[in-house]
Amino acid sequence: MSVDIDLFTDAEYGSLDFVVLEEVLKSTFPYVDTGFGGNVGMGKSYLIGKDKENSVKLDLYYSNDPFIQTATIIDGIRMATVEEIIAMKVDVVLREGRKKDFWHLHELLPEYNISQMLALHRTRSEFTHDETVILQNFRNFESSDDDFDPICLRGKEWEFIKEDMINAVLNL
């Protein structure tokens, strides 16, 4: 289970008006901490909710690459497709994945094999795609082993997730 909300846009860098976005957040939520995470180059982080104890981290980011698929609209909310999210998660693995990224990709292994995941990343990030490094990182958990374990509502264990990821790569 994710403990934060990540919102991405492929809008032109610098085009988001964070002042207006903060006004919308403040008019929508009783508690908004705008100092959380500071203003970073690729976006900004906030804490939003009923109060400090009942809040969630919200990240608003520019995407490094344009989206490869049209957003899905669910209940009037534009959402990235599963394939788009896979490509983004594989991009994180390219740069040393976090435990939660492996956890998310593992959840999708029954529907998307490693070859399909690589193809999605290649389409989205053609200039930075490095299949050799991605495949190495799909089997290297050294930097992610020390991350906190995500809350898993399916009862999955990290050691089994690693084993399944390694087997998925070996079965290419």
The amino acid that residue 154 corresponds to is R
DSSP letter (8 states) at residue 112:
S
Q: Residue 161's closest CA among 116, 105, 117, 112?
A: 105
- Tokens 């995407």 locate to 63
Q: Do 54 and 91 belong to one domain?
A: no
| Whether residues 56 and 94 fall in one domain | no
Give me the torsion for CA of 60, 99, 156, 111, rounded to 10°. 70
Beta-carbon contacts of residue 74 (< 8 Å; ≥ 6 apart): none
- 108 within a domain of the structure (yes/no): yes
Q: List, in sequence order, every residue forming a beta bridge with 46; answer none if it has no partner.
A: 58
Same domain for 167 and 99?
yes
Number of domains the chain contains:
2
What per-residue confidence (pLDDT) applies to 97?
Answer: 83
Residues 98 and 155 in one domain: yes
User: Does residue 89 sit within a domain?
Assistant: yes
Same domain assignment for residues 29 and 99: no
Tell whether 53 and 114 lie within a shared domain: no
Q: What integer pLDDT is reported at residue 10 of this predicted model?
A: 84
Residue 74 within any structural domain of the chain? no
Phi-psi region of 37 (alpha: psi -120 to 50; beta: other; left: phi over 0): left
- The CA angle 45-161-58, to the nearest 5 degrees, is 10
Sequential pLDDT tens for the chain (172 residues): 567 888 888 888 888 888 899 999 999 999 999 886 655 667 899 999 999 999 999 988 888 788 899 989 999 888 899 999 999 999 999 998 899 999 999 999 999 999 999 999 999 999 999 999 999 999 999 999 999 888 888 889 999 999 999 999 999 8
Structural domain including 15 reads 4-62
The pLDDT value given to residue 28? 97
Q: Is residue 76 part of a domain?
A: no
